[in-house]
Amino acid sequence: MGSGIRKRGKFMALEKPYLDVPGTIIFDAEQARRGYWLNQFCMSLMKPENRDRFRANERAYLDEWAMSEEQKQAVLARDLNWCMRTGGNIYFLAKIGSTDGKSFQQMAGSMTGMTEDEYRAMMVAGGRSVEGNRYVGEEGDAQAHRQPQGSAGGTGTANKESN
């Protein structure tokens, strides 16, 4: 489903200049529609009985939701970047980490390929420099081919493109 507006019966695409920000997934209306059921699943984890059901049989619990197979696989892999590419909102996805007993800092570190200590040190030092990270054509740290960084490595799905 493309984003756009109707003008006198014609469908016109909206420009999205923010898509040129490297290493950034913008949660816009299109992503919200795409991730609706993924985010609803995450919100269900606010109830202890649902967390228990999810922990008991993750796949069976996920199959109760009208999520895409890709979204289910992203959740099972605990790959938050993949979840976000399929419409997940980080504030909803935090419920998965909480269910797993992880802090938000641990989750954020996993998204950058860093250990929790490396992520903390980077943030205390002011985060990544904006130099080389303003738009996709630059060669900064946030460029896709430079992710994930840090000694934590990654699952290899950080660079996966989604439809």
pLDDT per residue as tens digits for the range 15-41: 777 677 767 788 889 999 999 999 999
Domain that holds residue 146: 103-163
Provide the pLDDT for residue 47.
98
Residue 6 inside a domain? The answer is no
Q: What is the pLDDT of residue 141?
A: 59
pLDDT at 162: 40
- Helix-helix angle 36-44:69-77, to 10 degrees: 40
Structural domain contains residue 8 = no
Q: What is the pLDDT of residue 15?
A: 75
Query: Which regions in the chain score pLDDT beneath 70?
Result: 1-13, 18, 22, 132-163
Q: What is the pLDDT of residue 140?
A: 59
108 and 96 housed in the same domain: no
CA dihedral 78, 82, 85, 90 (to 10 degrees): 30
2 within some domain = no
In this structure, are 124 and 92 located in the same domain?
A: no
Any domain includes 38:
yes
From 100, 124, 142, give the residue that closes a domain: 100
Residue 3: inside a domain: no
Clarify whether residues 83 and 118 are in a common domain. Answer: no
pTM: 0.71
State residue 55 phi and psi, 5-degree precision: -65, -35
Per-residue pLDDT, 77: 96
Q: Are residues 63 and 122 in the same domain?
A: no
